[in-house]
Structure 1
Amino acid sequence: METLSSIESFVRSAELGSFSAAARRLRLTPGGVSKNVAKLESDLGVRLFHRSTRSLTLTEAGEQFLAQVTGGLDAIQSAIANTSTVAGQPAGTLKVGMAMAFGRDHILPLLGQFLREFPAIKPDWRFDNRQVDLIGEGFDAAIGGGIDIAPGVVVRELARIHLVLVGSPEYLANKFVPKTPADLAQLDALIRYSQTTNRPTPWHLKTIAGEQVTLELTPRVTLNDPEMLCNAAMAGLGIAHVPMPHALRHLESGALVRVLPDWYTETGVISLYFAAKKLMPAKTRVFVDFIVEKFRAERYSEKWSAV
């Protein structure tokens, strides 16, 4: 297994372009990765990398060796993962990335049942409002929307998402109930700040009948998180434009109500992302199946639709 560790350090360093990136992926120190590669070079009797303070590039021998071992390494690792069990159960650390509020509300409540069904798996779940590099950061899976699809990543759709306009009953009682999108200019707009575009997000609204309108309102309050927008709306600060996964429980409790209920925004899908492998690790396979089944049983695609 010592040779396998050295080969893995070499392959990941070549894929990611540095010992430091490979170390993060393999959960080793950069020095440990460098030592593994140096041992492999010593055993093979050839230099695999050209090293400098700024770059790490393959030698001709390194390129040939990488082409020969990459597929075999993935197959061996998958085989090890699939046979790594405790009492017949899938085992190992399961690293999954997801957005903070979405993960808290819809994925974390499933953790207890998942642990009961798969007690030998150790979840390592990262809650962070950013896109993760599934391959480069060593995640087994990620859940979210609008994630860039890198080579070698498989996408499994979980539910389609709509955004809706919401406000508190008290706020609307003190102001007025808008009848058209143009009326929204007379109300307080709670606007989401996009960390992708670095500017407030316009409201792109449509109806089933095909009407469309884009509103760029003057923000009364600007926030960068949909859950905080819901909280601000419940506090009576104005009208918010939020995803149904965040708004639904507040709509069901009556803390929020739909504003202009015929209007909504299509925003894409929530998906499950995982690395494409001929032999998926058992821990990843059971997690994917578990989440897909839970989303189906909860009818989230239906609940998160605005129409």
Structure 2
Amino acid sequence: MEISQHLRAILSFVETAEAGSFSQAAKKLGVSAAAVSKNVANLEQVLGVRLMNRTTRKISLTEEGTTFLSQARVALDALESAVDSLAVGKMETSGHVRISTSAAFGRNQLLPVLPGLLTRYPALSVEVDFDDRVTDLVNDGYDIAIRGGRIVDSSLISRPVCHLNLALIASPEYLSQYGTPKSPVDLAQHKLIARRFLGGKVNPWGFKAKDGSLSSFEPASPVLTLSAPEALVESARAGLGIAQVGLHQALKYFEDGSLKALLTEQHDAGSYELVIQYPHRALIAPRVKVTVEYLLAAFRQDKSLHFPIAELNKYEYKANE
């Protein structure tokens, strides 16, 4: 099979896999359904494996087909990016960039830096989805995802932004009324605000002993359970109890005095990180590349994302304040 035939066969396979039918793939490619079916059959013959199971009702991928689809997408993306790279020297960087990020980070960190991005690259357009669920970057059609947590998806390129440190917080008014916990054991006597992830799991609080060992504490019988991290911050500021939140979400309220840090020497800040992710490609499209690089540079200037955890104790509550 010649290179041009290889490319036609691979395109026929990818479009059929994504559309779920030969006829829909044929419409997109501008050829007949019979030609698409023949191209896929020829590809299977060359590879020596069945890529698709066909029935009168539907088409489904075999295990080998699923693996090949992933590899084929990388190859086609590389070809598309190669064309973009040749064109970038002839025209202004342009195009549409789709970004997925969490609601809180999107509002507080991403939105403030987008005007600068669009001023520098006026031919860009940006679409942002605020969604706290983990999205499938490739299948959902996103160019970039900004994610925080324990990052494990090795099929994507991950560019580190910062460590995401956690802190225990409460308002001065709450602590004045109910007292200040001196150890994790004291938390059982306090009003606690828990965070429940969208999957249903309650986020535990971590603590470290003098010998370096770590323990986990799950807020028992919390006075309030919330899913949105910014809601935890506002509830703590309202004096409803003690919460665990990202340090970057609380820093400005530490600075204005409406929140205080607790148990800074004993609380474990966690091992979470914030990254910008995009699909693995041999060549990244210029519109995506400039967006990623701009955001990385902008986030490096955000002091709330890079505040040293060792300095958190200066915001700890003192009863005589």
TM-score (norm: length of structure 1): 0.81
Bigger strand share: 1
Shift of 1:87: 7.5
Q: How far off its partner does 1:7 sit?
A: 6.3
Which amino acid in 1 is paired with 2:203?
T
Question: Which of residues 178, 192, 196 is equivalent to 2:195?
Answer: 192
Instruction: Give the gaps of 5 or more residues in structure 1.
Output: 23-29
Is 2:268 the counterpart of 1:264?
Answer: yes
1:295: which partner in 2? 299
Q: Does residue 1:179 correspond to 2:182, yes or no? A: yes
Cα pair distance change 1:201/1:279, threshold 3 Å:
closer
Structure showing greater radius of gyration is 2
1:84–1:92 contact (8 Å) kept in structure 2: no
Give unmatched runs, 5+ long, in structure 2.
1-6, 41-51, 312-321
Aligned position for 2:114: 111
Deviations 1:252-296 (A, max 9, x none): 221111011222331410001011212110011111111111222
Alignment deviations for residues 140-194 of structure 1 (CA, whole Å, 9 cap, x no partner): 110012455152x111111001111100011111110111111111110101112
**Equivalent residue for 1:285?**
289
| Cα shift readout 1:188-236 (whole Å, capped 9, x = no counterpart) | 010111233x232321222686253322222111111111111111111
Structure-1 residue corresponding to 2:31: 39
Aligned-residue sequence identity (percent) comes to: 30
Residue of structure 1 in register with 2:126 after alignment: 123
Contact 1:95 1:139 in 2 (8 A): yes
SS at match of 2:165: strand
Aligned residues: 288
CA–CA separation in structure 2 for the residues paired with 1:304 and 1:36: 53
Provide the rounded CA distance (Å) in 2 between the counterparts of 1:286 and 1:257. Answer: 39
Q: Does 1:19 align with 2:19?
A: yes
Contact 2:118–2:124 (CA under 8 A) maintained in structure 1: yes
The residue matched to 1:269 in structure 2 has which SS? strand
> Of residues 235, 238, 242 in structure 2, which corresponds to 1:239?
242
SS of structure 1 residue aligned to 2:270:
strand
Once the 2 structures are TM-superposed, how far is the Cα of residue 8 of structure 1 from its aligned partner?
4.7
Q: Is contact 1:163–1:267 with CA below 8 Å preserved after alignment?
A: no
Structure 1 residue aligned with 2:207: 205
User: Is 1:82 the counterpart of 2:74 in the alignment?
Assistant: no
Equivalent residue letter for 1:36: K
Distance 1:12 1:248, change over 3 A: farther
Deviation at 1:247, TM superposition (A): 1.4
Residue by residue, what CA displacement relative to the aligned partner does 1:19-59 show, whole Å, maximum 9, x if unpaired? 16x9xxxxxxx98545225826544671626355354347x
Closer/same/farther in 2, CA of residues 45 and 240 from structure 1, 3 Å limit: closer
Alignment of 1:206-225 (within 5 A): 206=208, 210=212, 212-216=214-218, 217-225=220-228
Task: Using the TM superposition, name which of 110-119 and 251-260 deviates more.
Answer: 251-260
Q: Residues of 2 paired with 1:232 and 1:298: CA distance?
A: 24
Q: Does the CA contact (< 8 Å) of 2:100 and 2:131 recur in 1? A: yes
How far does the alpha carbon of each residue in 1:42-94 deviate from its partner, in whole angstroms, 9 at most, with x for none? 44671626355354347x9x99x979976653332112333455973211100
Where 2:38 maps in the other structure, the secondary structure is: coil
The DSSP-based 3-state class of the residue aligned with 2:196 is strand
Contact preservation (8 Å) 1:134, 1:142: yes
Relative distance call for 1:114 and 1:67 in structure 2 (3 A) is closer
Indicate how the Cα distance of structure 1 residues 9 and 96 shifts in structure 2: closer, same or farther if over 3 A, else same.
farther
CA contact (8 A) 1:234 1:256 kept: yes
Contact 1:161 1:304 survives alignment (8 Å): no
For residues 42 and 31 of structure 1, the distance between their equivalents in structure 2, rounded to whole angstroms, comes to 8
Give me the whole-angstrom Cα distance separating, in 2, the residues matched to 1:5 and 1:108: 41
SS at match of 1:89: coil
> Residue type of the partner of 2:120?
E
Residues 1:70 and 1:181: Cα distance change in structure 2 (over 3 Å)? closer
Read off the aligned partner of 1:199 and give its amino acid letter.
K
Moved more, 108-117 or 297-306: 297-306
The alignment's TM-score, normalised by the length of structure 2, stands at 0.78
